[in-house]
């Protein structure tokens, strides 16, 4: 059930990124529309900074309009100003409250007819006892149930983009973590555990990231026929505000040995969004930092996907939002 030390080391200490902001020509994404969830901070904010010169329309989706406004002001102030700056827009959604998801998708649909890339980046680490507004285990509710609902609501715009965009360029990028390998329960997700409030922060966080891999794989199976790519990436181990609740010595230790600047996580996101390695043939893949297609390190998690658990988890998520939307 455990990952090999080699698999872990390969993700802790990755080789240099192969897709960076230098691979994205200025103005190259004019006419494209992107959504980045959790874009006001950390990896998501660095991703928006990299995308800014490309001329795309980018929706920064998060749970605080004030924080999004600050992020937009920060990105817009980049100097020297690019020749073809992106159009930056805010989109309110709170992934821990299912009632905000359809309105967010409806607000997007009222403004755009296409969606080229959806980066499911938002995430959080919850303490034991946590639940979402609708009483779901907090990690699974916020990282899996709500993002799947959001994606399904955005399917018309993803399909519309796939009809006219270059092949394999319309993508849904889910976010995994080394915690799948280290902390997720046997088989990635334990259906009995996720019916309860958070029991153990690391375990439920890891399970939700395995859940994201399941949704990526199942999304590829269901939506590949529309020309939509769905992959899951482990951004790497980055020093971002997500570590905010950890003790100083914990942070100091990890910063010395395993944490990288958050822009490296954005490189993994760029790879997932733009690398030609990601295509119809690799649809549903898992991506290691800073951009390598490799299997999830845990054989039991891989086996679970082969055994149909990804489809089972997808249906479990759909049932969970049923009564609220």
Ligand X SMILES: NC(=O)c1ccc[n+]([C@@H]2O[C@H](COP(=O)([O-])OP(=O)(O)OC[C@H]3O[C@@H](n4cnc5c(N)ncnc54)[C@H](OP(=O)(O)O)[C@@H]3O)[C@@H](O)[C@H]2O)c1
- Binding segment for ligand X (CB under 6 A), chosen from 15-23, 81-89, 118-126, 214-222, is 118-126
Size of the site for ligand X (CB under 6 A): 29
Determine whether 196 is an active site residue.
no
- Binding segment for ligand X (CB under 6 A), chosen from 109-117, 238-246, 275-283, 314-322, is 238-246
Least Cβ distance, residue 27 to ligand X (angstroms): 27
- Binding segment for ligand X (CB under 6 A), chosen from 81-89, 104-112, 120-128, 316-324, is 120-128
Under rule CB under 6 A, residue 14 binds ligand X: no
| 31/257 with CB nearer ligand X | 257
Under rule CB under 6 A, residue 63 binds ligand X: yes
Under rule CB under 6 A, residue 263 binds ligand X: no
Determine whether 13 is an active site residue.
no
| 122/162 with CB nearer ligand X | 122
Under rule CB under 6 A, residue 3 binds ligand X: no
**3-class secondary structure per residue, the chain:** CCCCHHHHHHHHCCCCCCCCHHHCCCCCCCCCEEEEECCCCHHHHHHHHHHHHHCCEEEEEECCHHHHHHHHHHHHCCCCCCCCCCEEEEEECCCCCHHHHHHHHHHHHHHCCCCCEEECCCCCCCCCCCECCCCCEHHHHHHHHHHHHHHHHCHHHHHHHHHHCCCCCCEEEEECCHHHHHHCCCCCCCCCHHHCCCCCHHHHHHHHHHHHHHHHHHHHHHHHHHCCEEEEECCCCEECHHHCCCCHHHHHHHHHHCCEECHHHHHHHHHHHHCCCCCHHHCCCEEECCCEECCCCCHHHHHHHHCCHHHHHHHHHHHHHCCCC
Residues with catalytic function: 205, 209
By the criterion CB under 6 A, which residues form the site for ligand X? 37-38, 40-44, 62-64, 67, 93-96, 121-124, 142, 175, 177, 235, 237-238, 240-242, 262
């Amino acid at each position: 059930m455990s990952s090999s030390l080699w698999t872990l080391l390969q993700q802790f200490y990755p080789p240099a990124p192969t897709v960076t902001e230098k691979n994205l020509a200025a103005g190259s994404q004019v006419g494209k529309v992107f959504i980045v969830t959790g874009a006001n901070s950390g990896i998501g904010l660095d991703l928006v900074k990299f995308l800014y010169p490309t001329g795309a329309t980018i929706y920064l989706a998060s749970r605080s309009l004030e924080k999004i406004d600050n992020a937009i002001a920060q990105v817009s102030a980049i100097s020297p100003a690019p020749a073809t700056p992106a159009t930056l827009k805010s989109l309110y959604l709170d992934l821990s409250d299912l009632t905000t998801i359809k309105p967010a998708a409806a607000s997007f649909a009222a403004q755009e007819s296409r969606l080229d890339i959806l980066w499911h980046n938002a995430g959080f680490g919850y303490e034991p006892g946590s639940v979402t507004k609708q009483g779901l285990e907090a990690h699974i509710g916020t990282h899996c149930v709500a993002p799947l609902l959001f994606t399904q609501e955005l399917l018309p715009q993803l399909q519309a983009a796939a009809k006219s965009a270059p092949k394999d360029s319309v993508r849904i990028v889910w976010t995994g973590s080394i915690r799948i390998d280290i902390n997720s329960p046997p088989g990635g997700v334990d259906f009995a555990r996720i019916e309860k409030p958070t029991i153990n922060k690391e375990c439920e966080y890891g399970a939700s990231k395995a859940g994201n891999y399941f949704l990526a794989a199942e999304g590829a199976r269901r939506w590949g026929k529309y020309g939509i790519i769905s992959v899951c990436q482990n951004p790497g181990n980055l020093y971002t505000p997500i570590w905010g609740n950890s003790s100083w010595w914990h942070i100091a230790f990890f910063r010395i040995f395993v944490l990288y600047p958050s822009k490296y996580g954005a490189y993994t996101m760029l790879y997932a969004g733009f690398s030609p390695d990601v295509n119809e043939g690799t649809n549903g893949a898992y991506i290691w930092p800073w951009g390598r297609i490799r299997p999830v390190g845990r054989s039991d998690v891989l086996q679970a996907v082969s055994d149909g658990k990804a489809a089972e988890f997808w249906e479990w998520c759909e049932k969970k939002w049923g009564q609220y939307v």
